[in-house]
A and B are shown apart, each in its own frame.
Chain A
Amino acid sequence: MVFLTVANWIRARGPDEFWRKRRIFRLAAHYTGRRRNCYSVAVRNVHRALAYATKARKLKKEDMKVLWDTRITAACEQHNITAFSLREGLGRADIMLDRKSLSDLAAWEPKTFHCLAAVAKEKLNLDNFIDGTDKKEPTGINLNLKDVMLEAWLKEKK
């Protein structure tokens, strides 16, 4: 068949059946059983895998964001500050660090993170900002053990 119109080239089936199928088989090489050996099965699975890969490019970013938030929240708790007020304080102090850098600092440079938390706290203090988002008191340096009956007991063990 000869196409005289350029638009019809889009519908052309490609170079050669062997190479067309080979492109699919290359992508299905790590599958098992008929999924890698039979073209009709392989092409379905490859198309599905490619669709998943497209979706996952977005999901991966969301998952990483959730993970970084979890880590930052954990690190903030150690310094008796909420993740919200850390962000607010750093923003007001013009320290523009993203989630990724903050969580990396929290894991690998704990002292740097401690300083950042202190800066955020001090900035909010200067601005008279009151964090009303989270009333749950985190554990940390201000931990008050006077109401806990086990305090004396644990002390004598140490």
Chain B
Amino acid sequence: MSAAKRVQQWATFARTWHIFDCKWQDPYQSAEVIKKYLMGLHKPIYHSMNDCGDVVVCINSREIALRGNDWRQRAYFHHTGYPGGATWTLAWEVHNKDPTMIIKKAVYKAMRGNLQRRHTMQRLLIYPGEEIPEDIIQNVSNQIRQLRLVPTRLDHISEEEVKKFPKVMDYPQDYVLK
């Protein structure tokens, strides 16, 4: 194998590190996207026996958004194996306990159950906030696009910008604002 071909081979099978910002994202829909990068389904050389999956770093997993009343209604099942060992934990309780758990379980569930699944999960790194260890962030070379637009809150916009924004009318003097 010539030197050029050898480098081409390394470049083809090199692992790329992707970053995904979970802020305001649905974990179950994001899981489908993250899964694609973890398993290497986004490469034309994909094969289930081919180790072509990438590494995905999820940040801001504390800021995920669940649909409807899922925070109160969705229950996570666990069984200790002993009689009467079944527990159902609500999503908000799981999230309070461990902010990375929901996204982790969502990605785990999105993949088919086979021997490769647990090894593929090793390539998923989740961080509750924005702070990532330096040795991990320096590997990241791509960002996965978020599925939803992160809305900007009014109280996060500076006062000058709010004042500059064009108004249709001024409130009358005697109008009571709640």
Q: CB within 8 Å of B: which residues of A?
A: 67, 70-72, 74-75, 77-78, 103, 106-107, 110, 113, 137, 139, 143, 145, 147-151, 154, 157-158
A-B complex: 4 closest residue pairs judged by Cβ atoms: A106-B44, A75-B44, A107-B44, A71-B44
Q: Does B116 contact A (CB under 8 A)?
A: no
B20: nearest chain-A partner, CB-CB: A150
Q: How far is the CA of A103 from the CA of B46 in the complex (A)?
A: 10
Majority-rule SS of B interface residues = loop
Interface string of B6-25 (1 = CB under 8 A from A): 00000000000001010100
Determine if A143 and B145 form an interchain contact, defined as CB atoms under 8 angstroms apart.
Answer: yes
Which of B87-95, B104-112, B135-143, B162-170 lines the interface with chain A? B135-143
Alpha-carbon distance between A8 and B177 when the two chains are bound, in angstroms: 102
**B21, B44, B47, B146: most-surrounded residue (chain A CB, <10 A):** B44
Q: Are A147 and B137 in contact (CB under 8 A)?
A: no
Chain B hits for A145, CB < 8 A: 143
The closest CB in chain A to the CB of B149 belongs to: A147
Q: How large is the interface on B (under 10, 10 to 19, 20 to 34, 35 or more residues)?
A: 20 to 34
Q: Determine the residue in chain A with the shortest Cβ distance to B45.
A: A107
Taking A148-B145, A154-B140, A157-B138 as given, write out 16 further A-B residue pairs in contact, using a Cβ cutoff of 8 Å, ordered by the A residue number: A67-B46, A67-B47, A70-B41, A70-B46, A71-B45, A72-B44, A74-B44, A78-B42, A78-B44, A107-B44, A147-B149, A148-B146, A149-B21, A150-B19, A150-B21, A154-B143
Task: Indicate if the CB atoms of A148 and B137 lie closer than 8 Å.
Answer: no
* Cβ contacts under 8 Å, A157 to chain B: 137-138, 140
A110, B149: Cβ atoms closer than 8 Å = no
Complex Cα–Cα for A127 and B80 (A): 61
In the assembled complex, the Cα of A106 lies from the Cα of B12 at a distance in Å of 13
Contact A150 B42 (CB under 8 A): no
Given contacts A139-B145, A154-B140, contact A147 B150 (CB under 8 A): yes
Q: Is the CB of B46 within 8 A of A71?
A: yes
CA distance A67 to B47 in the complex (A): 7
